Amino acid sequence: MEVAPSKLDLSRSERDYEQAQHSIPGGVNSPARAFKSVGGTPLFIDTAEGATMTDVDGNTYIDYVGSWGPMIFGHAHPEVVNAVQEQAESSTSFGAPTEIEIGVAELVCDLVPSVEKVRMVNSGTEATMSAARLARGYTGRDKIIKFDGNYHGHGDFFLIGAGSGPLTHGHPDSPGVTRGNAEDTLLARYNDIEHVRKLVDAHQGEVACIIVEPVAGNMGCVPPEPGFLEGLREICNAHDIVLIFDEVMTGFRVAPGGVQERFGVIPDMTCLGKIIGGGLPVGAYGGKQEIMDYVSPVGPVYQAGTLSGNPLAMRAGHAVLSKIQREKDEIYPQLEDYSEALEKGIQDNLDALGLDYYHTHVGAMGALFFTEEKVVDQDTAKKADTDKYAAYFHALLEEGIYFAPSQFEAFFYGTAHGEAELDETLKAQRRALKKIH
């Protein structure tokens, strides 16, 4: 993708990117960082504090990526920093149980409606993989249903694309994923409950679980249509299927108890991550006691990890979750107010120029699509003008605003974003829009 030269001095980021490609595939350790969707050179970040971050060239930005979600209280929050520093002095890992794991587990169980027991892991991918395996072991069934456009990490049975027909099996989305994995994964259309019913009816007694991003965050931020989550719950109840909410992104971000609290639909299992590590690598899966007791060493389904529940991540997570528990009555109304003000301001700016768009937000996450059509699933998301989004992204970057470097990623904000950040963001957006209009 051709990108106009930036007015920013990114010379050091450019040198770092060139150097990194000699030792790291593509120069990045996760594809989302490569700017492939918007073109140009990825920023190499030096420091961050509160709602801002500064790159290696000294450019400072108001940050709407927030490490892709965990920075609900902003970067380098003092309570998190102190917790990590104190733990590091006692060692970063023991490979043995610690009391802080109990504290984090109890906070998760207290805050998330579906979770009676929880197992800590090291990433969202590990959480979703483990949850699906547990559902299969618990039900004695092999097939899973996932939704086109939902991302559950890079486990083999999640990297599956749509098949050739509406009720066919999926096909591998990546080399290295076997046809055997694809045979056990069924693809449904997001927000299409009738399609889910047809899939289940066509595979009676074979489906172990339905896993869903209850608010999609990996095709932009796409909320569930009315009745969609309720319909999934009804289908799972009727067919003894385990309903799994992947709340790695939405957990503690759209409400203290996640999407399930906000919309009042309770899954059988929940996958978590991001916020429960305070920015450190972490994941978790939990749910009903009868299901979770199927996990080793209590039950027969094996899952293990040397660094699972490591004390550094648990100390950071405990600082974040305990703050949420203490201050949730103030935190979430504040986030809602910012969300609504940001959305209104963005829409006013776009309307003033007569641009076609569709904007969404749920809690402290949102998305902007340059499209005339309402976005409800992968197909409608793909109709958005990605070239216009790329131009918009770079124009914002030049104005000191860092949004997601892809049309199909959500943006995030937290309590560190206040009136000053809101005012500067909307002023910068007006300037950026004039550049691309």
- 1 pLDDT above the threshold of 90: no
- 226 pLDDT above the threshold of 90: yes
> Does residue 4 fall inside a structural domain?
no
What is residue 166's predicted lDDT score, i.e. its pLDDT? 39
> Does residue 5 fall inside a structural domain?
no
**The domain boundary residue, chosen from 324, 339, 360:** 324
> Does residue 114 fall inside a structural domain?
yes
What is residue 168's predicted lDDT score, i.e. its pLDDT? 44
- 175 pLDDT above the threshold of 90: no
- Split at pLDDT 50, 70, 90, the class of 123 is very high
**The domain boundary residue, chosen from 274, 291, 324:** 324
- In terms of domains, do 254 and 352 share one? no
What is residue 317's predicted lDDT score, i.e. its pLDDT? 97
- In terms of domains, do 60 and 176 share one? no
- In terms of domains, do 370 and 270 share one? no
- In degrees and rounded to multiples of 5, residue 230 shows phi and psi of -60, -40
Provide the angle, in degrees to the nearest 10, between the axes of the packed helices 311-353 and 419-436. 50
Alpha carbons 35 and 261: distance in angstroms, whole number: 34
- In terms of domains, do 333 and 270 share one? no
Contacts of 409 (CB under 8 A, 6+ apart): 32, 68, 217, 218, 220, 367
- In terms of domains, do 221 and 338 share one? no
- 68 pLDDT above the threshold of 60: yes
> Does residue 37 fall inside a structural domain?
yes
- In terms of domains, do 214 and 296 share one? yes
- Split at pLDDT 50, 70, 90, the class of 163 is very low
- In terms of domains, do 119 and 44 share one? no
Q: Average model confidence (pLDDT) for the chain?
A: 94
236-258 per-position pLDDT tens digit: 999 999 999 999 999 999 999 99
- In terms of domains, do 336 and 299 share one? no
CATH of the domain at 301: 3.40.640.10
Domain that holds residue 243: 78-324
Instruction: Please list the alpha-helical segments (H only) found in 279-418.
Output: 289-292, 311-353, 378-381, 386-398
Instruction: Please list the alpha-helical segments (H only) found in 293-310.
Output: none
- Tokens describing residue 414: 């937290």
What is residue 167's predicted lDDT score, i.e. its pLDDT? 41
CATH of the domain at 66: 3.90.1150.10
201 burial level (CB within 10 Å; 0-12, 13-18, 19+): exposed
- Split at pLDDT 50, 70, 90, the class of 66 is very high
- Split at pLDDT 50, 70, 90, the class of 199 is very high
295-351 per-position pLDDT tens digit: 999 999 999 999 999 999 999 999 999 999 999 999 999 999 999 999 999 999 999
Percent of the chain with pLDDT over 70: 96
Q: Which pTM does this prediction carry?
A: 0.95
Contacts of 128 (CB under 8 A, 6+ apart): 152, 153, 155, 158, 211, 244, 246, 248, 271, 285
- In terms of domains, do 65 and 104 share one? no
Alpha carbons 384 and 411: distance in angstroms, whole number: 16
Residues 356-373 have a mean pLDDT of 96
- In terms of domains, do 115 and 41 share one? no
- Split at pLDDT 50, 70, 90, the class of 164 is very low
Question: How many independent structural domains does the chain possess?
Answer: 2
- 165 pLDDT above the threshold of 50: no
Alpha carbons 59 and 99: distance in angstroms, whole number: 41
- In terms of domains, do 305 and 320 share one? yes
What is residue 169's predicted lDDT score, i.e. its pLDDT? 53
More confident residue, 36 or 293: 293
> Does residue 1 fall inside a structural domain?
no
Alpha carbons 432 and 98: distance in angstroms, whole number: 50
- In terms of domains, do 105 and 216 share one? yes
- What residues act catalytically? 151, 246, 274
Residues 284-293 have a mean pLDDT of 98
Cβ of 176: how many Cβ atoms within 10 Å?
Answer: 9
> Does residue 404 fall inside a structural domain?
yes
- 159 pLDDT above the threshold of 90: no
> Does residue 275 fall inside a structural domain?
yes
Instruction: Please list the alpha-helical segments (H only) found in 140-227.
Output: 179-183, 193-202
**The domain boundary residue, chosen from 297, 324, 351:** 324
> Does residue 6 fall inside a structural domain?
no
